[in-house]
Structure 1
Amino acid sequence: MFLRALRWLRRKVADRAQRLLLTVLAAGPIPRHVAFVMDGNRRYARSHRKRPTEGHLEGFQALRRMLEICFVLDIRCVSAFAFSIENFKRSPEEVDTLMGIAEEKLLELCQHGDLLNKYGVRLNVVGNVGLLPKPVQKAARKAENMTRHNKRRVAIFNLCMPYTSRDEMTTAVQTCVQNAMASDSPETPIITEHDIDRALLTSKGGSPPLDILVRTSGVKRLSDFLLWQCCENTQIQFADAYWPDFGLFDLIPIILDYQRKVWSR
């Protein structure tokens, strides 16, 4: 009983300290849109002698932690690269496992009183959803619909799966061409950069411009994620921690660097 009470007290103290730290951090300029390439789940599992499935499950817990930190900071939009279209090339066993986790966690995220409901966040499943197994497509639609009433803070969570920038940009250009061909205007239709930008999946979901893109696990590449959205003002940050280990003290230097650069403009 004493040990249980001690653990509870430690959690309370840690929670209060984190809230205080976030309050101080929020006193400076806060990015509107932060994106994460959640890399390193499998290497994390290997380094801890765990099964890959356990690495992916702990990666989901890290996503929950990071979402809560971001929404407490009043970051308006968070995007997370959960599954690339290229990941379908992995072994059938791993793909099936990841799809099962996705189906379960999509619905878990949106349960009454859970994280997205608590902070009034609207979920967008961003990507070529038609490539997902039917049960996962159904879970995605259900999860999105369950958060459509969340308008209190107008916060957005883009769960990108299955996604690549090349697929998103190709689809956006195709949409622009179809719209131009269907136009009744006598003038020759011209497709502009603005037209393509409006046709992107993130734009349709109401996402603001991307301020920070973070990739974990020490790998320094973008891996076909939000390439169009990475404009001249996007700050790209690489963290050494594997995604399941990524936490508040990894995010703080990134936010402070963003604030320093905003103040120096």
Structure 2
Amino acid sequence: MSWIREGELSLLERLSANILKAGPMPKHVAFIMDGNRRYAQKKHVERQEGHTQGFDKLAETLRWCLNLDIHEVTVYAFSIENFKRSKEEVDGLMELAKEKFLRLLDEQENLEKHGVCIRVLGDLTLLPIDLQRVIAKAVMATRSHNKCFLNVCFAYTSRHEIANAVKEMAWGVEQGLIKSGDVSEALLNQCLYTSSSPNPDLLIRTSGEVRLSDFLLWQTSHSCLVFQSVLWPEYSFWNLCEAILQYQQNYRSLQKAQDIHREGQKVQQLEADRSHVSDLLQHRGNGKPMDARARQTALINYAENREERVQRFLGALQHKRDTFFEHLTSPTAVA
């Protein structure tokens, strides 16, 4: 099954899509694709067949999203917690993933046609080295595409991601790229695996479970959360439309919450900068009071210097991540 299915919507689907698009549409949708195992049990087939059907449904869902002008999709493909499942099931999932990423490499022409950029988010070092290499090749092959984005969370949990972001900031301080005072909520956000993406507007979980299972906890704090009872392999275009309708019904309150959060971050950063400038002036001053204009100049200079340090650090962090993928795709890479 192809990663991106070709084909147009039916007449009724197109009509419904046009009606939906008259209202506010989510630009980024996240999916917890739950229910593959229960689907297999329901259909009296092997679990592996349920997972295979789940991937096929992802390909179909991506086609719907493209037709609905949803240009970014993030999916929860494999949680770190899933390693606790039976060895047989975990090995089967690793093989399925390898098969699908190898298929992706054979579909570069189709992915380029649609401009699909594939990102794989998670702690890839936890995966078998052969799968790491195939994933790295897929990521590198599509990284220049910029029309739409598929983020595959693999060997991922949100707590692991946040802990990793903290470690990255600690590394930046150790390397002298940033100062401890530069650490902030905004900087942590830029150190997450998802730093290249806007936060999801809409998160959908299938199968009737009403929990996030450690998925995008940071990023979905102001997203519309929709829980649907349908099993993932049975997901339909109409289920997706229903979720988008719920997003549209809550759009104003979601936007208000996001605006309040953004303003709060700005105020928080400004107060932190003022505190740092006051400390600096206290240690460097000659005992004479500084007028308001001079303080404002010092504040602006401090903010500019901080931003310069942060950008230098983020550039180094991106280089470190790029090097990881480049090493995996190098012919000289060893296990």
TM-score class normalised by the smaller sequence: 0.7 to 0.9
For residues 94-116 of structure 1, give each alpha carbon's deviation from its aligned partner in whole angstroms, at most 9, with x where no partner exists.
111100110111232351344x4
Distance 1:188 1:68, change over 3 A: closer
Give how far 1:197 is off.
0.2
Give how far 1:183 is off.
2.5
Which residue, out of 185, 189, 192, partners 1:193? 185
SS in 2 for 1:156: strand
Aligned equivalent of 2:126: 131
RMSD across aligned positions (CA): 1.9
Give how far 1:56 is off.
0.4
Instruction: For 2:247, give the aligned amino acid.
Output: Y
1:248 aligns with 2:237: yes
Which residue, out of 114, 121, 135, partners 2:116? 121
SS in 1 for 2:95: helix
SS in 2 for 1:30: coil
Aligned equivalent of 2:27: 32
Give how far 1:216 is off.
0.5
Identity of aligned residues (%): 43
1:101 aligns with 2:96: yes
Residues 180 and 190, structure 1, Cα contact 8 Å, conserved in 2: no
Distance 1:177 1:73, change over 3 A: same
1:171 aligns with 2:175: no
TM-score (ref. length: structure 1): 0.87
Aligned residue pairs, count = 247
For residues 44-103 of structure 1, give each alpha carbon's deviation from its aligned partner in whole angstroms, at most 9, with x where no partner exists.
000011110110000001111111111221213110000001111111111111001101
Separation in structure 1 between the aligned mates of residue 207 and residue 49 of structure 2, nearest angstrom: 17
Residues 32 and 75, structure 1, Cα contact 8 Å, conserved in 2: yes
SS in 1 for 2:155: coil
Instruction: For 2:159, give the aligned amino acid.
Output: R
Separation in structure 2 between the aligned mates of residue 13 and residue 170 of structure 1, nearest angstrom: 42
Distance 1:16 1:117, change over 3 A: farther
Aligned equivalent of 1:9: none
Equivalent residues in 2 for 1:217-236 (5 A)? 217-231=207-221, 233-236=222-225
Instruction: For 1:159, give the aligned amino acid.
Output: V
Give how far 1:166 is off.
0.9
Residues 215 and 238, structure 1, Cα contact 8 Å, conserved in 2: yes
Q: Which has the higher helix share?
A: 2
Separation in structure 2 between the aligned mates of residue 215 and residue 44 of structure 1, nearest angstrom: 15
Separation in structure 1 between the aligned mates of residue 200 and residue 252 of structure 2, nearest angstrom: 18
Higher relative contact order (CA 8 A, sep 6+): 1
Instruction: For 2:232, give the aligned amino acid.
Output: W
Aligned equivalent of 1:6: none
Instruction: For 1:179, give the aligned amino acid.
Output: G
Aligned equivalent of 2:175: 182
Aligned equivalent of 1:202: 194
Structure 1, 22-31 or 128-137: larger mean CA deviation: 22-31
For residues 150-175 of structure 1, give each alpha carbon's deviation from its aligned partner in whole angstroms, at most 9, with x where no partner exists.
23x2x211100010011100000010
Q: Which runs of 5+ in 1 are unaligned?
A: 1-11
SS in 2 for 1:162: strand
Aligned equivalent of 1:160: 153
Equivalent residues in 2 for 1:62-81 (5 A)? 62-81=57-76
TM-score (ref. length: structure 2): 0.69
Instruction: For 2:175, give the aligned amino acid.
Output: A
Instruction: For 1:167, give the aligned amino acid.
Output: H
Query: Larger C-alpha radius of gyration, 1 or 2?
Result: 2
